[in-house]
Amino acid sequence: DAKTTQPNSMESNEEEPVHLPCNHSTISGTDYIHWYRQLPSQGPEYVIHGLTSNVNNRMASLAIAEDRKSSTLILHRATLRDAAVYYCILRPTNFGNEKLTFGTGTRLTIIP
Amino acid sequence: SAVISQKPSRDICQRGTSLTIQCQVDSQVTMMFWYRQQPGQSLTLIATANQGSEATYESGFVIDKFPISRPNLTFSTLTVSNMSPEDSSIYLCSAGADTGELFFGEGSRLTVL
């Protein structure tokens, strides 16, 4: 399975934008880039996913490099509720292998 | 979207016993997975629950220890057999479509004494 590399931890000030990087240099053409986050004492929560083009939703934006070897999750205005562990995951789409394999993620701390 | 309910939410069990965790999804889904999350760690995939056939287990997990059933498109069970304190963990059910987002339950926190 293709792997991702994320910083172990990041800090950001409340109400400022946050850019969470992810490297995935061995990504294959059929891998989707998924982001999930896990708040304390909860199951993971879907944030966003994309294949080649940048994506926006109500929670965040996903910027994907042209060569797809890296991506950045952008939280436009961080709140205290965004403090969580953020996981960048490559999800294969070939039949029978569409599983999510979690790495260690980035622990995001929001400073009031 | 899909809402996933897991039961029990937590349990304390004795060494050598078995516990079955249930996962109910409020809509039909193609994919269901079971994960384990030990304290302070990331999630580890145990197996893919296949509807109408045997589950597909990841390396390090075997059917005798973690038997899984998936009788239909909305329900699955994971049994933790012959438990030891090392099985103390949070067990999470996940479900979704072949592509797109996956949804997770709140988890079942298991403590083995």
CA angle, residues A63, A69, A70, in degrees to nearest 5: 40
Tracing tokens 């893919």 back to the chain, one arrives at: B48
Q: Choose among B48, B99, B104: nearest Cβ to A43.
A: B104
* The two structure tokens encoding residue A28: 């294959």
Question: Do the chains contact at A98 and B99, CB–CB below 8 Å?
Answer: yes
- Residues B25-36: tens digit of each pLDDT: 998 888 899 999
- Residues B41-63: tens digit of each pLDDT: 999 999 999 988 899 999 999 99
The distance of B95 to chain A (nearest Cα, Å) reads 10
pLDDT exceeds cutoff 90 at A100: no
Q: Which amino acid is at A19?
A: H
B99 pLDDT tier (thresholds 50, 70, 90) = low
Question: Do the chains contact at B42 and A34, CB–CB below 8 Å?
Answer: no
